Structure 1
């Protein structure tokens, strides 16, 4: 069980990393410049880790379990079995923290099949606060939550996403996994200023950052993690780095996998975007 003071210490120095996928295992093993990894927790069994992850762990590479189905944004408490799995993943991997999404994924036994935005109301904040505390109590390491991409907003929202996250951090001490591609998606689809969000978020609680690519189709931006990150997303990374020093920045790529050289180039683009903030400062 994480002690209350440990809930604040998610800012482990990580560097620049990439999301581990079975399709990329050999690429990642031989690729220079990878400082840490993130693995989708639902895709592994703690008692029988993929050989590639075991190899990379013997090299001392940090690995963060990243959940996609816990559903802290729902009215029901998070499943003890799902929490136990996340905890077991963290222990098996010797992870510095666990991350998940601030998202609604199920209700009344029905799976949404997608990471949906939560209603940003005071009542929703109260429920999610309790869900986050339950998760923190069940995990052996600090917990961080990611902002999600959206193609719609709830009509009764009382708070902006940044305000909602800031209050949730104040109440629970949860860390922040800020996905700049998701901020860009919400700006493109909903007109929500990404830089205003960066100004309002409590970046002193930043655990790490996600970067990913997507594409526009019929006027909607789809955060697919299947293409190179567009320049506006990297510009947002620079904006974030001008406001805070992220402990880690991670590239997500989930399908239509490119060459090793293309992935290495994406990591180099991330480093360039980060250094641009230091040079301008």
Structure 2
């Protein structure tokens, strides 16, 4: 299914370790949950509570392997669709990456070769996924540690053409743009120049750490200023339907998470002055 992006507001990734924190944090307009962690017919009580008070829940896939040469696994697609239905979700999201090949699981989101041939394969995979999903699909850029040789397209061109061909929405992860900048020398603003930001569904922000010149997208550190600056950049160029804070470990006290949400709102607010 294709469609327009709903207004989501500001949110945080729901995790079992911080379920009560997420429920009581002020200013949480929506949450995102890793689809592979859910049993759609046995949803956690916390998600029922959030849904009961009208908080949208977005299933976020990590294993469809849309960037792989193999077609998407029908069972994984059915699971993602079941999660969206059980949660009454307005959309679902997944990464432009591959996670398996030849029957082997990588256990990691691997970058897709940015060639015309690969683009055609990924576009068909996305269309297959859309046909099996009851809600629109948003596609996310990943945090890269490497690129493939002989690439024909930039990241922005690849994602932009993919969105144009499929009608999919975009989930722009500004932390991943920062990762690509540090690790590969990519200019994040050029990527944004090449993206159809009118297809923007929402934005991810997250923290990380640099070690020996390599940026690690850990999701266990506070969001750094360069990532917030990129969020402001996106918001200065387009209407941002939603922004979500990702945190996957080393969870700080509630007040610190609330402070990060405030910093995110402030970063978006700065865009009005940029305009």
Q: Same fold (TM over 0.5)?
A: yes
- Alignment of 1:274 with 2:248, yes or no, is no
Q: Distance in 1 between matches of 2:111 and 2:257?
A: 29
Q: Distance in 1 between matches of 2:58 and 2:104?
A: 28
Gaps of 5+ in 2: none
Q: Distance in 1 between matches of 2:3 and 2:185?
A: 32
- Alignment of 1:44 with 2:57, yes or no, is no
Offset at residue 8 of structure 1 (A): 3.0
Paired residues, number: 275
- From 13, 16, 20, the counterpart of 1:19: 13
Q: Distance in 2 between matches of 1:158 and 1:280?
A: 33
TM-score calculated relative to the size of structure 1: 0.97
Aligned to 1:263: 257
Aligned to 2:197: 203
Gaps of 5+ in 1: none
Matches within 5 A, 1:84-233: 84-233=78-227
Q: Distance in 1 between matches of 2:28 and 2:92?
A: 19
- From 48, 70, 86, the counterpart of 1:54: 48
- From 65, 75, 86, the counterpart of 1:81: 75
Q: Distance in 2 between matches of 1:238 and 1:171?
A: 28
Moved over 3 A (4+): none
TM-score calculated relative to the size of structure 2: 0.99
Offset at residue 279 of structure 1 (A): 2.3
SS of equivalent residue, structure 1 residue 8: coil
